[in-house]
Structure 1
Amino acid sequence: QLSDRYEFAIVRKLDNCTIGGTSLNQISRLHKTAGGGIWLNRKYQGMGYGTEAFGLRIRFAFEQLGLRKLENGYFAGNQASWKMQQKFGYKQEGIRRQKYICPATGETVDEVLTGLLREEWIDFLPETI
């Protein structure tokens, strides 16, 4: 029985310190799709750790699990997340208006929905290896 969820720690090689995590969830064997996400300690953002982990997660999903599509999202305004997803070929697919409430400000935040098809990812492989 294959899992419908995978959780991966992002561990810095230098000191074996866990600095974040990434996941695949809501895996549909029927449709060959999955959702997922990534989080990274702020102090390690912008250093390439998240991009490397995100790329490995995508490779695992397509090559090991045989999925055909990954679905993701990001908070509207989080351009760093969108930029990272674009590196692998993700496309914007829609917006969930006022999906979340920001705990820090109490303001509502839209979620931008994104998706990546296996064949689109293959087109980006030379740039991401």
Structure 2
Amino acid sequence: MNFRPLRLEDASFINKLRQEEDMEQLIGGAKRPVAYERDLKWVEQLILGDSQISIYFAITPSGSDEIVGYTSISEIDYRNGTCFWSGIKIDATKAGKGWGSEVALKILKFVFEELRMERCKAECLEHHEVALKMMLKVGYKQEGLMRNTVYKNGIHNNQWLLSVIREEYLELKQRFSL
């Protein structure tokens, strides 16, 4: 598995991901229909915008350039050394095959070694047990349950708040040979 920058042609794949109802119900963001043209403009803005507070990566299989998902780091705060791993959106055929753990570890390596962050936080819906299990597996620590933080699927949902700090990352680096 590799990361590469997003490309304009990735907008079609991203737009198709938005149509996957099962996935949309499990992520923290609001579900809304988005036209391909809007995703094309969004990807173009990500590519050309040179944001200092967010970074997006296309996820590709090893030995291929074809996008199978994307991930991002946002809320990058260089002064305080903190950021937010915004999670993963990946083709449903890749789910349950270790892609999530591999992406999460690669993100942690980037966050702590390239961005020199002190803390990386993440969130997941309380009932998204797969995401919670994966984040705990790769070393995130649960900090608490944030109540009624996301209105989704007709109700207000709780979210787990998790994080990894630099000291913990150094242990994870050895454990996972990063």
Same-fold call, TM > 0.5? Answer: yes
What is the Cα deviation at residue 125 of structure 1?
Answer: 2.3
Corresponding residue of 2:79: 30
Q: Which amino acid in the other structure matches residue 167 of structure 2?
A: E
Shift of 1:122: 1.5
- Unaligned regions of 5+ residues in structure 2, if any? 1-49
Q: Deviations over 1:4-60 (max 9, x none)?
A: 211011112365331211111111111000012222222211111121111111101
Partners of 1:69 and 1:111 lie apart in 2 by: 19
Structure 2 counterpart of 1:99: 149
Number of the residue aligned with 2:174: 126
Aligned residues of 2:146 and 2:159 also touching (Cα < 8 A): yes
1:113 aligns with 2:161: yes
Q: 2:105 aligned with 1:55, yes or no? A: yes
Structure (1/2) with the larger helix percentage:
2
Whose Rg is larger? 2
* Structure 1 equivalent of residue 65 of structure 2: 16
Aligned-pair distance for 1:110? 0.7
TM-score (norm 1): 0.87
Q: Which has the higher strand share?
A: 1
Question: How many Å separate the matches in 2 of 1:100 and 1:43?
Answer: 27
Structure 2 vs 1, CA of residues 16 and 2 (structure 1 numbering), >3 Å: closer, same or farther? closer
Counterpart of 2:62 in structure 1: which amino acid?
K
Q: In structure 2, what is the Cα distance between the partners aligned to 1:30 and 1:15? A: 36
- Residue equivalent to 2:126: 76
Among all aligned residue pairs of Structure 1 and Structure 2, give the percentage whose two residues are the same amino acid. 25
In the other structure, the counterpart of 2:11 is none
How many pairs align?
A: 127
TM-score normalized with structure 2 length: 0.65
1:55-101 alpha-carbon deviations (Å, 9 max, x no partner)? 11110110011111001010002121111111222111122212122
Distance 1:2 1:14, change over 3 A: closer
Unaligned runs of 5+ in 1: none
Counterparts of 2:148 and 2:92 in 1: how far apart (Å)?
24
Following the alignment from structure 1 to structure 2, what is the Cα–Cα distance between the partners of residues 17 and 91?
Answer: 33
